[in-house]
Amino acid sequence: MNQEPEKNNQNEEELEELREVIKKLEELQKQQNKTPKKRPRRPFIAIEFGGVFHHNRIINFVFSFILNFTFAFFVIEIFDFAVYSDIINMVALMLLYSVVEEFYRTYLLMKHFSLILKSFGTIFFFGYIVIFFVLDQYVFIKTFNFVNGTLLAFFVLIFTLTRYFFGTYLRRFLRRVESR
């Protein structure tokens, strides 16, 4: 008989201890809720396959064309990778390139996404080389010419890298402005 009251006292003591622990936890939680939490910014790597600047496809295409033309023009002018007859042909080349690139990128994203992931995006690079090669050799035969094949590859490399970094920076800037 003496054991039963002892057990009850022991249970009551344990319950009281648990209540105290719960009260302390509640107080800690209240204190944490009062202090504003600033989540530390973790750096992350984002792969943006579509390069979307705007949700309207036409506006996005026009913006991409302007970026393509601007960067291609500056890379060609700075490094003398190619020779072109006049600026109108350069605009036509980049307009046609932008259209073909849009179809190529959309096709790969829709039909061969796993290939993009497996190649870490280098499939785009080789595709861009092929697009510029075809436009250079078969479409703009007398009005636009890369000096040689090696410079074509370096042009595409510099062009895509500068476009990627600038586009990523611009998209982040636009998102920051929209979130305000």
Give residue 37's pLDDT. Answer: 54
Q: Is residue 52 part of a domain?
A: no
Q: Is residue 50 part of a domain?
A: no
Residue 14 in tokens: 């344990």
| 75 and 143 housed in the same domain | yes
Task: Determine the structural domain holding residue 24 and report its residue range.
Answer: 1-37
Burial class (CB in 10 A: 0-12, 13-18, 19+), 101: buried
Q: Is residue 51 part of a domain?
A: no
pTM for this predicted structure = 0.70
Rg (CA), the chain: 30
Residues of the chain with pLDDT under 70: 1-8, 34-54
Task: Give yes or no for a contact between 155 and 133, defined as CB atoms under 8 angstroms apart.
Answer: no
| 72 and 145 housed in the same domain | yes
| 64 and 133 housed in the same domain | yes
Q: For the chain, how many structural domains are there in total?
A: 2
Give residue 23's pLDDT. Answer: 81
Q: Is residue 104 part of a domain?
A: yes
Q: Please report, rounded to a whole number, the percentage of residues in the chain having pLDDT higher than 90.
A: 55
Give residue 51's pLDDT. Answer: 57
| 70 and 121 housed in the same domain | yes
Give residue 39's pLDDT. Answer: 60
Give residue 70's pLDDT. Answer: 95
**Tens digit of pLDDT for each residue in 47-76?**
444 456 667 889 889 989 999 999 999 999
| 160 and 97 housed in the same domain | yes
